[in-house]
């Protein structure tokens, strides 16, 4: 299981949560192919709306990726992005600022926003647990939230 941060405005995150899916990097398939079933993804939203001038700078959604390859979805107007299905967990928004000196990818780094420019990047288990905790998600059950009983029984903890 890997952990990922995906970067999307909060308005688009809400659409994905309502539909049980994720999109990244303006609908490209390549980044989604790196994400596997059971991986945990957290959305970071720099703004509320795409191209907005507000500075939301918060983690806005967290969930586990379902099995399946990226698939195309026609959103109309000629925009047909790739998606992956996600089981989104109940979570609250968490501002990034209080976490910056605790996260492995940003601790002591002045230009902490650089990795976000890629739209999707892998993070350490430590960082995912820190972010999940800030979002009010119980990290002790996090891997189990999208598993069946047999899969849960096979876990080493």
Q: Does the 3-153 domain belong in CATH 3.30.565.10?
A: no
pTM of the entire structure? 0.85
Instruction: With beta carbons less than 8 A apart as the criterion, state whether 62 and 131 touch.
Output: yes
Q: Which stretches in the chain have pLDDT values below 70?
A: 139-157
Each residue of 3-14: pLDDT tens digit?
Answer: 999 999 999 999
- Beta strand residue intervals within the chain, DSSP E: 3-7, 21-22, 40-45, 58-65, 71-72, 82-88, 94-95, 120-123
Location of structure tokens 């994400």: 35
List of residues 6+ apart from 141 with CB closer than 8 A: none
Provide the residue ranges of all domains of the chain, joining segments of one domain with +.
Answer: 3-153
* pLDDT, position 155: 39
pLDDT score for 27 = 84
How far apart (Å, rounded) are the C-alpha atoms in residues 89 and 17? 9
């Amino acid at each position: 299981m890997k952990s990922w941060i995906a970067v999307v405005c909060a308005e688009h995150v809400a659409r994905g949560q309502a539909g049980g899916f994720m999109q990244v990097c303006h609908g490209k398939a390549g980044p989604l192919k790196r994400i596997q079933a059971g991986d945990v993804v957290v959305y970071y939203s720099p703004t509320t709306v795409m191209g907005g001038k507000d500075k939301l700078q918060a983690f806005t959604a967290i969930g586990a990726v379902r099995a399946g390859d990226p698939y195309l979805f026609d959103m109309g107007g000629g925009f047909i992005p790739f998606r992956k299905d996600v089981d989104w967990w109940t979570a609250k928004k968490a501002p990034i600022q209080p976490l910056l000196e605790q996260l492995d990818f940003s601790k002591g780094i002045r230009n902490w926003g650089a990795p976000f420019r890629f739209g999707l990047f892998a993070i350490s288990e430590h960082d995912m647990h820190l972010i999940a905790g800030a979002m009010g998600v119980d990290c002790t059950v996090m891997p189990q939230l999208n598993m069946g009983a047999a899969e849960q029984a096979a876990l080493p903890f």
